């Protein structure tokens, strides 16, 4: 396979991409190893990002973390994304109706971004930790819903490029069949695939002109009893979501 | 030659992102290029990369750009991993309710030589102050900042003060410290007394701060109360100070600190 070369800016953004909830601090050595770039390059990029206020050095651990300044960017996104403000009430309602954490996912490139979420408190009892906001499309139910809206050619392109990293689908054919089912059924179910602790159910969300603009996803703790009845729950959820038209 | 070019590339890209604010959330390609004195093709190239990585979105109808969802992802990592923010919320709310004045309550952490606000709560009578969550202010003229400087280990403190001096001390208010020497004297005093009071050091405002410790006995954050000089009476300062200290101690205890 040909090795992709990245520009400085791309490498700087790839550094920011490394940070996750599970690993929120990196040393320069770790960054250079993870990205396969020279130590001196990693060092220079980290200094650039630090100068620009995107990451900061932790004085004690001698490693870098994301800067609090990033919060001011996200407050701009939250304030000016209609889908976020317009969905607050809807998510609360669905959360109490389906007794689940509910989140809205939108597609950007090869990821689903969860832009709004309502936690169902009673379910988060200790063992459930956290849900990332950015996940590869084929990892979650919401992602499958969004992928299933693409043309067959686009789906095949995506699969060939990204599916190799998946554990759930051993081959592209299986995945394509699954997505066809998702499209015909109008809902997607994922268990034990990406979130080992969760079962997720998703359905499309339409705007006032009837276009699919996002996916809504229910998140439950993984439970054998629930798994047996999840198909029925997914059908109910789909019926409810079909009637929703959200202004965005 | 190539080196300086790539540094500019990152700087230019980050400057594009910084254009987007609550007041100006959308920009056209031509506006961005004009504002940052970059030619159209350079600007376009930067925007394409930023969009690829989720930092920018382009509205296909209006042809305008806005910030992308990647920031929501990064912010969630910050707020989830910096547990202090979650713990601090009720303490900050209680403090602002108790003071019941036109004040803001801040939770600040040190980032470089700046203080960055992890959280902020406004009173029922909001006032316009130059602060918001994620905002960075200079540490040498704000109560949170001075606390964070004062409680660093001596070696680290000297390094920070030296850096502040190198970057230049700006006179933001009539009482801003004039020199590194004066700053060090004040920091020693602050560490002795356990709180910091800044009057008209950062514009016309009063801020009062106290240190927050965690279980490692390190000061990891500061809590402050800020208001306009004309809204906080001088005789109220001791009461405000006492309440800020009380809140900071309460939060420290929640974080596992025993004194």
The CATH number assigned to the domain holding A129 equals 3.30.450.40
Could you say which of B72, B90, B117 is where a domain stops?
A: B72
Residues B104 and B193 in one domain: yes
Helix or strand or coil: residue A93? helix
Chain B residues whose beta carbon lies within 8 Å of the beta carbon of residue A44: 7
Whether residue B67 sits in one domain with residue B86: no
Asked if the structure places residue A3 within a domain, the reply is no
The pLDDT value recorded for residue B130 is 67
- State the residue range of the domain holding B49: 2-72
Which DSSP category does A3 fall into? Answer: P
Chosen domain end from B21, B44, B72: B72
pLDDT at A172 over 80: yes
In angstroms, the separation between the Cα of residue B235 and the nearest Cα of chain A is 34
The answer to whether residues B10 and B119 belong to one domain is no
Q: Looking at the domain assignment, is residue A172 inside a domain? A: yes
Note whether B21 contacts A76, CB cutoff 8 Å: yes
Do the beta carbons of residue B146 and residue B110 sit within 8 Å? no
**Whether residue A103 is found in the same domain as residue A185:** yes
Mutate: best of B21, B74, B220, partner A, most A CBs <10 A: B74
Using CB atoms, which residue from A9, A71, A115 is nearest to B69?
Answer: A115
Closest CB to A68 among B50, B80, B111: B111
The lowest-confidence range among A101-105, A174-178, B98-102, B244-248 is B98-102
Of A155, A146, A161, A89, give the one whose Cα is nearest residue A114: A146
Pairing mode, strands A198-207 and A245-246 = parallel
Confidence check: pLDDT of A236 > 90: yes
Would B77 be classed as within a structural domain? no
Candidate from B49, B72, B118 with C-beta closest to A10? B49
- Pair A14, A65 in one domain: yes
A122-130 long-range contacts, CB within 8 A, separation 24+: A123/A99, A123/A220, A123/A221, A127/A197, A127/A221, A128/A197, A128/A198, A128/A221, A129/A21, A129/A197, A130/A21, A130/B80
Please indicate, yes or no, whether residues B223 and B107 belong to a single structural domain of this protein: yes
Low-confidence ranges of chain B (pLDDT < 70): 1-7, 126, 128-130
pLDDT by residue (tens digit) across B153-168?
999 999 999 999 999 9
pLDDT at residue B1, as a whole number: 39
Residues, chain A: 248
Within this chain, do residues A59 and A87 fall inside the same structural domain, yes or no?
A: no
Q: Does residue A163 form part of some domain?
A: yes
Mark whether A142 and A198 lie in a shared domain.
yes
Q: What pLDDT is attached to residue A122?
A: 55
User: Are A137 and A28 in the same domain?
Assistant: no
Please answer yes or no on whether A73 and B67 come within 8 Å at the CB atom: yes
Q: Which residue has the higher pLDDT, B242 or A60?
A: B242
A98 found inside a domain: yes
**Domain CATH number, residue B219:** 3.30.450.40
For residue A1, pLDDT over 50 is answered with no
- CA nearest B130: which of B229, B20, B227? B227
State the count of interchain CB pairs (< 8 A) between A and B: 152
State how far the alpha carbon of B25 is from the alpha carbons of B15, B34, B69, in Å. 14, 16, 14
Residues 185-244 of B with CB under 8 A from A: 218
- pLDDT mean over A30-55: 95
Is B259 among the domain residues?
Answer: no
Over residues A201-215, mean pLDDT: 95
Determine, for residues A72 and B68 on separate chains, whether the beta-carbon distance falls below 8 Å: no
Q: How far is CA A127 from CA A140, A221, B73, B85, B153, in A?
A: 20, 9, 22, 21, 37
To test the contact with chain B by mutation, choose from A4, A43, A71 the residue with the greatest count of B C-beta atoms within 10 A, namely A71
Q: Is the pLDDT of residue A59 over 80?
A: no
Q: Are residues A89 and A62 in the same domain?
A: no
| Same domain flag for A88 and A170 | yes
Q: Write down the mean pLDDT value for chain A.
A: 89
* Residue B67: CATH number of its domain: 1.10.10.10
Together in a domain, A90 and A170: yes
Q: Give the pLDDT confidence of A113-163 residue by residue, as tens digits.
A: 999 999 887 555 444 456 789 999 988 999 999 999 999 999 989 988 887
So what's the pLDDT on residue A127? Answer: 43
Distance CA A71, CA B106 (A): 14
Mean pLDDT across the stretch A11-38?
A: 94
Cα Rg of chain B, angstroms: 21
Q: Are residues A55 and A88 in the same domain?
A: no
Same domain as A239, residue A178: yes
Question: CB B30: neighbour CB atoms within 10 A?
Answer: 11
Q: pTM of the full predicted structure? A: 0.84
Torsions phi, psi for A145 (to 5 deg)? -60, -45
- Residue A168 pLDDT more than 80? no
Here the CATH number for the domain that contains residue A23 is 1.10.10.10
Measured CA to CA in angstroms, residue A84 lies from A40, B20, B26 at distances of: 41, 18, 17
Domain with A213 in it: 81-246
Q: Quick check: A192 pLDDT over 80? A: no
Q: Enumerate the residues of chain B whose CB falls inside 8 A of the CB of residue A77.
A: 66-69, 71-72
CA angle, residues B199, B203, B207, in degrees to nearest 5:
40
Residue B5: its pLDDT value, please? 58
Q: Does B126 touch chain A (CB under 8 A)?
A: no
Separation of alpha carbons B194 and B191, rounded Å: 5
How many domains is chain A built from? 2
Fill in the DSSP letter of residue A73: H
Q: How many independent structural domains does chain B possess?
A: 2
């Amino acid at each position: 396979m040909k090795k992709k070369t990245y520009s400085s800016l791309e490498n700087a953004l790839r550094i920011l991409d490394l940070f996750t909830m599970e690993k929120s601090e990196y040393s320069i050595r770790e960054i250079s190893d993870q990205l396969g770039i020279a130590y001196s390059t990693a060092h220079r990029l980290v200094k650039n990002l630090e100068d620009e206020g995107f990451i900061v050095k932790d004085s004690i651990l001698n490693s870098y973390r994301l800067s609090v300044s990033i919060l001011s960017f996200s407050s701009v996104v939250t304030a000016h994304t209609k889908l976020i403000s317009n969905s607050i009430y809807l998510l609360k309602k669905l959360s109490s109706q389906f007794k689940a954490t509910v989140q809205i996912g939108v597609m950007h490139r090869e990821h689903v971004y969860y832009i709004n979420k309502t936690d169902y408190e009673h379910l988060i009892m200790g063992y459930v930790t956290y849900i990332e906001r950015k996940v590869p499309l084929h990892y979650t139910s919401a992602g499958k819903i969004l992928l299933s809206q693409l043309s067959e050619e686009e789906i095949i392109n995506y699969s060939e490029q990204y599916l190799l990293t998946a554990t759930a689908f051993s081959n592209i054919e299986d995945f394509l069949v699954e997505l066809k089912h998702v499209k015909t059924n109008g809902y997607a179910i994922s268990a034990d695939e990406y979130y080992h602790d969760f079962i997720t159910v998703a359905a499309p969300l339409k705007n006032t002109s009837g276009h699919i603009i996002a996916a809504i996803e229910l998140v439950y703790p993984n439970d054998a009893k629930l798994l047996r009845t999840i198909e029925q729950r997914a059908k109910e959820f789909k019926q409810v979501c079909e009637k929703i038209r959200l202004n965005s | 030659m190539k080196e300086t070019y790539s540094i500019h590339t990152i700087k230019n890209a980050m400057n594009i992102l910084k254009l987007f604010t609550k007041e100006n959330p959308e920009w056209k390609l031509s506006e961005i290029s004009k504002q940052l004195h970059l030619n159209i093709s350079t600007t376009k190239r930067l925007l394409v990369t930023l969009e690829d990585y989720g930092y920018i979105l382009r509205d296909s109808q209006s042809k305008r750009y806005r910030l992308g969802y990647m920031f929501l992802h990064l912010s969630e990592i910050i707020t989830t991993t910096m547990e202090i923010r979650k713990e601090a919320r009720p303490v900050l709310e209680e403090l602002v309710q108790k003071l019941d004045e036109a004040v803001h309550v801040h939770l600040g952490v040190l980032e470089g030589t700046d203080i960055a606000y992890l959280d902020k709560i406004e009173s029922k009578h909001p006032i316009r102050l130059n602060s918001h969550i994620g905002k960075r202010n200079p540490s040498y003229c704000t109560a949170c900042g001075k606390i964070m400087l004062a409680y660093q280990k001596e070696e680290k403190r000297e390094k920070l003060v030296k850096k502040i001096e190198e970057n230049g001390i700006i006179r933001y208010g009539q009482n801003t410290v004039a020199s590194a020497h004066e700053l060090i004297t004040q920091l020693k005093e602050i560490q002795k007394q356990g709180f910091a009071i800044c009057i008209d050091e950062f514009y016309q405002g009063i801020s009062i701060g106290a240190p927050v410790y965690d279980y490692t006995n390190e000061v990891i954050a500061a809590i402050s109360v800020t208001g306009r000089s004309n809204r906080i009476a001088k005789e109220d300062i001791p009461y405000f100070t006492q309440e800020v200290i009380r809140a900071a101690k309460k939060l420290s205890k929640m974080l596992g600190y025993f004194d």
